[in-house]
Every structure is written in C-alpha cells, then in structure tokens.
Amino acid sequence: MTPELEDLVAQIRACRICRDVPFAGPPLPHEPRPVVMASSEAKIMIAGQAPGTKVHASGVPFTDRSGDRLREWLGVTSDEFYDTRNFAIAPMGFCFPGQDARGGDLPPRRECAVTWRARLMQLMPQVGLVLVIGQYAQAWHMPDERKANLTDTVANWRAVFMRNVTPRVLPLPHPSWRNTAWLKRNPWFTEELLPVLRTEIAMRLQRRE
C-alpha cells in the first residue's frame, strides 16, 4: 500500500464525522466503526451499500449471508475474497447507518461519499473493475447509465460493462436474502450475467474459470 493510501485508509477508519459533526441528517445513533478494505494491488473493487449489524460487530466486510451469496456469485473462496491483492471493498457508507422503524437498514450516510470516495478512487488507479451493488453505488459510479429502477439498471449491464472506460463497471443487485424473490423473477441475472461475471473475475485473478 502506498503511504498516501495507507494514510487515507487510517483517516477513514478513524472517521467520526456522522457522529460528531454530521451534515447529512441526525448524528449516527451509535459508535462509528468504519469498515473498508483497500490496497495498491487490488484488481477489483466491490462498491456496496453500507455494513449491516453483523459486519458492524465483526469489523470485517460481508461476514454475513449476503457475503456468502456474493462469493458464490463471484465464484471465489473466502481466502480469495479477503485477499487485498484481489479485492478492495469500499461501501458507499463505511459505518452501519442504523435501522428504521421496521427493522430495515437505513440508507448509507451521505457524509462518507462526499468526504472520502473520490480520494479513495484516485489512490487506487490499478483497479480495473468496479462491481456496483445497489442503487447508491450505482448513482455514484454510473450516474449517466442509471435507469429509473434497479432492475432496469442491472438489466442494462451489457451496455454499461462494454463502455470504453477505465475502470470497467458492472451493476449488481444486493446479494441480500431479501432479494431472493427478485432473483426468481429475473432469471436472466443467473443465466446471462453471472457466467460473464465469473469469467471476468477468474481472468482478473489470473486463474482459469
């Protein structure tokens, strides 16, 4: 990791903006615990939403059922997934944002992207592929290609993925168990997108699919 990136990651992990000096809503209702994985070698970035309760407790990204499904989608082992030479993991909100009255997770804190995201991306120019999970990551990483809803955005994945830009971008739904019904309604995701995703991941990790 370069000294500049190491310093930025340390600043992110020590961040308390949304708790102490929030500018995008009421203060975070609990102690911040920013979760981020970054390196100067990572080939792929996973841009998700924000940590959930289990990840907030563990401090390690995707240590939950969503992570199990995501690793299955990617066709990678846990060792490959948590190897920072392979993946950087940078959600739109680095801290668990809390829950709404129904027990669902609140949206990512907006302070995170405004304060940190552009600098983090600038210091990882070696990333060749960004997997944008959910509407908040898609709004930041592919604003011109985002459609009226997540289904249409992900369904347009070929056009987004084949753009002549670096890094390449691939939109995905959230791997949450809550999206199981979505996956059943949209079989093209499993039949068409996932084989391309797995081949791309295998190529970038320099192993055979």
Residue 97 pLDDT > 80: yes
| Inside any domain, residue 41 | yes
Confidence grade of residue 99 (pLDDT, cut at 50, 70, 90): confident
Residue 208 pLDDT > 60: no
Angstrom distances, CA of residue 21 to CA of 28, 47, 75, 116, 161: 10, 25, 41, 15, 38
| Inside any domain, residue 108 | yes
| Inside any domain, residue 183 | yes
Dist. CA 176–CA 75, nearest whole Å: 17
What is the pLDDT, as a whole number, of residue 100? 85
| Inside any domain, residue 193 | yes
| Inside any domain, residue 29 | yes
Dist. CA 84–CA 75, nearest whole Å: 17
What is the extent of the structural domain holding 158? 3-204
Query: Domain of 96: which CATH number?
Result: 3.40.470.10
What is the pLDDT, as a whole number, of residue 136? 95
Confidence grade of residue 101 (pLDDT, cut at 50, 70, 90): confident
What is the pLDDT, as a whole number, of residue 209? 44
What is the pLDDT, as a whole number, of residue 150? 94
DSSP-derived pairing of the beta strands 129-133 and 87-89: unpaired
**pLDDT (tens digit per residue) in 29-78:** 999 999 999 999 999 999 999 999 999 999 999 999 999 999 999 999 99
**pLDDT (tens digit per residue) in 179-203:** 999 999 999 999 999 999 999 999 9
pTM: 0.94
What is the pLDDT, as a whole number, of residue 164? 83
H or E segment to which residue 30 belongs? none
**pLDDT (tens digit per residue) in 129-177:** 999 999 999 999 999 999 999 999 999 999 999 988 899 999 999 998 8
| Inside any domain, residue 209 | no
Number of domains in the chain: 1
What is the pLDDT, as a whole number, of residue 197? 97
What is the pLDDT, as a whole number, of residue 141? 95
Dist. CA 91–CA 34, nearest whole Å: 10
Dist. CA 39–CA 86, nearest whole Å: 9
| Inside any domain, residue 180 | yes
Dist. CA 192–CA 197, nearest whole Å: 9
Q: Is the torsion defined by CA of 92, 187, 73, 53 positive or negative?
A: positive
What is the pLDDT, as a whole number, of residue 155? 97
